Structure 1
Amino acid sequence: MKNKGVVFTTQAAMIAAIYVVLTVVFAPFSFGSVQVRIAEALTILPAFTPAAIPGLFVGCLIGNILGGAMLPDIIFGTLATLIGAVFTYILRNQNKFLAPLPPIVANTVIIPYVLRFAYGEAIPIPLLMLSIGIGEVISCGVLGMILYFTLNKYKHRLFAL
C-alpha cells in the first residue's frame, strides 16, 4: 500500500525540480517583455494531480529567484503561476482544452504590470499583455497540450495517488 503523503510530496518535488531546470536552462526565453517560458507547459499538470499545485508554486519561486528576478517578480510572477495552477485543477473535469486557459489568463494579466512596475518596462501595458499572452499561448496552449495528450495515455500509472 502506498503512503499517499509520500507520493504527493514526491510528485510535487519532481514537478518543482523540472520547472526550475526548464526555467534556468531556457533563461534567455524565460524572462523579459518577450518571453516563452517553456516551464509553463507544466501548468497543465494540475489536470492530472493536485501535487502539481505546490510543485509549480515552489518551482516557479525557485526558478524566479535563480533567474535573478526582482522581488515583485518573484512574488507576483509566482502568484500568477499558482493562480493558474489552482484554476487548472478546478477545471480538470471540464473540457480538456480549458486546462491551459487559467495560466494563460493569469500570466497575461499579472506579468505585464510586474514588467512595468518592477523593471520599468516602457512598452504600454496592452502591448505587454499581447506579448506575454502570445508567449503563454505557445508555452501553455501548444506545448502544454502536447504534454497533456502525451501524459493522458499513462495517467493511471504516473499520477495514481
Structure 2
Amino acid sequence: MKENKVTFLTQAAMIAAIYVVLTYIFAPFSFGEVQVRISEALTILPLFTPAAIPGLFIGCLIGNILGGAILPDIVFGSIATLIGAFGTYMLRGQNKFVAPLPPIAANTVIVPFVLRFGYGVTLPIPFMMLTVGIGEVISCGVLGMIIYFALNRYRGLIFKTASV
C-alpha cells in the first residue's frame, strides 16, 4: 500500500516536472492568442496512470507561474488542463483516438475567455477558440498520440500501478 502511494507521488511529480520544463523551453509559443503548448501533449498520460491528473495540473500551474502568466491564466488555464486530464482518464478503455478530445475541448472553451478578460485581447472569442483549438489539436491530438504510441509499447515497464 505504501509503495503505491510513493509510486503515485513519484509519477505525479515527474509528470509535473516534465510539463514545466516543456512549457518553459517552448515559452515563445506556449502563451498568447495563437499557441501550441507542446507540454499539453502530456495530457494523454492519464490513459497510463491516474497520477498524471494531479501531475498535469500542478505542472500547468507552475508552468504558468514561471511563464509570467497573470492570476486568471494561472488559475483558469490550470483548471482547463485539470478538466482535460480528468476527461482523458475517464475515457481510458475507449477508443484511444478520442482520448485527446477532453483537453482540446476544455482549453478551446476556457483559454479564449482568459485571453479576452484577463489579458484584454480584442480578437473575437470565436476566432481565439479557433486558434487555441488548432494549437490544442496539434499538441494534444498529434503530439499526444505520438507519445501514446511510443509509450504504449512499454506500458508495464514505465507505468506501474499507481492508485491511491
Which residue of structure 2 aligns with residue 58 of structure 1?
Answer: 58
1:28-72 deviation line (CA, Å, top 9, x unaligned): 010000000000000000010000000000000000000000000
Code of the residue aligned with 1:31 in structure 2: it is F
The secondary structure found in structure 1 opposite 2:118 is helix
Cα offset, 1:160, TM superposition? 1.2
Q: How many residues align?
A: 161
Shift of 1:2: 7.5
How is 1:7-156 mapped onto 2 (pairs within 5 angstroms)?
7-156=7-156
* Alpha-carbon distance change, 155 to 2 in structure 1, aligned in 2, over 3 angstroms: farther
Q: Distance in 2 between matches of 1:96 and 1:135?
A: 20
Moved over 3 A (4+): none
**Deviations 1:62-106 (Å, cap 9, x if unpaired)?**
000000000000000000000000010000110000110000000
- 1:10-29 C-alpha deviation (Å, 9 max, x unpaired): 00000000000000000001
Could you tell me how far apart the structure 2 residues matched to 1:155 and 1:59 are?
22
Deviation string 1:109-160 (CA, Å, 9 cap, x unpaired) is 0000000000000100000000000000000000000000100000011111
d(CA) in 1 for partners of 2:72, 2:93: 33
Consecutive unaligned residues in structure 1, runs of 5 or more: none
Distance 2:97 2:114 in 1: 28
The one-letter amino acid of 1:122's match is T
The TM-score normalised by the length of structure 2 is 0.97
Distance 2:151 2:32 in 1: 30
Q: Aligned partners of 2:51, 2:63: CA distance in 1, in Å?
A: 18
TM-score with structure 1 length normalisation? 0.98
Structure 1: distance between partners of 2:130 and 2:41 = 18
**1: CA distance, partners of 2:98 / 2:160:** 22
What is the rounded CA distance, in whole Å, between the counterparts of 2:86 and 2:150 in structure 1? Answer: 21
Provide the rounded CA distance (Å) in 1 between the counterparts of 2:92 and 2:102.
Answer: 11
Cα distance in 2, alignment partners of residues 81 and 2 from structure 1: 28
Aligned-residue CA RMSD in angstroms? 1.0
Distance in 2 between the 1:122 and 1:28 partners? 20
Identity of aligned residues (%): 75
Unaligned runs of 5+ in 2: none
